Amino acid sequence: MTKKPLILVTNDDGINAPGIRTLVDIMTTIGDVIVVAPDSPQSGMGHAITLDSLLYAEEIKNTGGPQKEYSCSGTPADCVKLAVRELLDRRPDLCVSGINHGSNSSINVIYSGTMSAALEAGIEGIPAIGFSLLDYTWNANFGASKAFVKTITEKVIKEGLPKGVVLNVNIPNVSEKDIKGIKVCRQARANWVESFDKRKNPQGREYYWLSGEFVNLDGGEDTDEWALEHNYVSVVPVQFDLTAHHFIQNLNSWNLND
């Protein structure tokens, strides 16, 4: 009998978020599941790790689903590190992160705890996928996501991924019948035009509340933003190597040692 793949499931919205519960349900139809996820929301944490405080992982009993679940006091990246180094009795065949409540397309991938967990798995040489639904509400409907999540996961298990490459998958917030299909894309060039609202707390101390507007600066029809706007599921291969390879030759021409 063929051994089922071991799938590590994590997220950044916390272990009780509806998105991760949906993802767990899907993964249990594909392989053996271990969940290691933050005990509280960690959105926007990026690739932060815990260095100067204690890190806890508590096993949750009688979940009725996956083999084991652990609630971790750390960040999404911590969860993957701890899972691989301490909590799992064998190396996972795949890591899936999400399903995130909200977009991780374009520049959002830099700030995303969801994608940082997937990238941490990629650093470990584990194939990984981050899934996000373009609905920020806690009670988001993940029904339309299920078939696409399963299809992409099964393809990754079958085909594999190059070392260091993980998939960033974003799903438009429309009904399943309105999703036109899956598009492989590049990351759109976009940013947040941010501002800080300066306020005072009841004690008179000033504080700042971050707000901003997402601005797509990219008119290309091969981007994740274009795909999502036109009701396609976007799939972007990303990597943790941030080297601007195209600029190395130019930079060498500066003769920095002269």
The domain spans of the chain are 6-188+219-252
Q: What is the pLDDT along the chain (258 residues), one digit of tens a residue?
A: 468 999 999 999 999 999 999 999 999 999 999 999 999 888 877 888 888 899 999 998 766 666 789 999 999 999 999 999 999 989 999 999 999 999 999 988 998 999 999 999 999 999 999 999 999 999 999 999 999 999 999 999 999 999 999 999 999 999 999 999 999 999 989 887 778 889 999 999 999 988 888 777 888 899 999 999 999 999 999 999 999 999 999 999 998 988
Which pLDDT does position 2 carry in this prediction? Answer: 63
Contact (Cβ atoms closer than 8 angstroms) between residue 175 and residue 226:
no
Tell me, letter by letter, the H, E, C secondary structure of 31-52: CEEEEEEECCCCCCCCCCCCCC
Burial profile 116-126: b = 16 or more Cβ within 10 angstroms, e = fewer: bbbbbbbbbeb
Give the rounded distance of the alpha carbon of 146 from its chain centre: 16
CA triple 233-188-19, angle to 5 deg? 40
Helical packing angle, 18-27 and 146-159, nearest 10°? 50
pTM above 0.75, yes or no: yes
- Cα–Cα dist 8/95, whole Å: 5
6-188+219-252 CATH choice from 3.40.50.1820, 3.40.1210.10, 3.40.50.200, 3.20.20.140:
3.40.1210.10
CA distances from 76 to 15, 50, 61, 80, 116 (A): 11, 10, 21, 7, 7
* Distance linking the first and last C-alpha atoms of the chain: 65
- Nearby residues of 118 by Cβ (< 8 Å), 6 or more positions away: 95, 96, 97, 128, 129, 130, 166, 167, 168
- Cα–Cα dist 222/125, whole Å: 28
Which pLDDT does position 202 carry in this prediction? Answer: 92
**Amino acid identity at 3:** K
Give the rounded distance of the alpha carbon of 74 from its chain centre: 16
Which pLDDT does position 65 carry in this prediction? Answer: 67
Say how many C-beta atoms besides its own lie within 10 A of residue 241's C-beta. 8
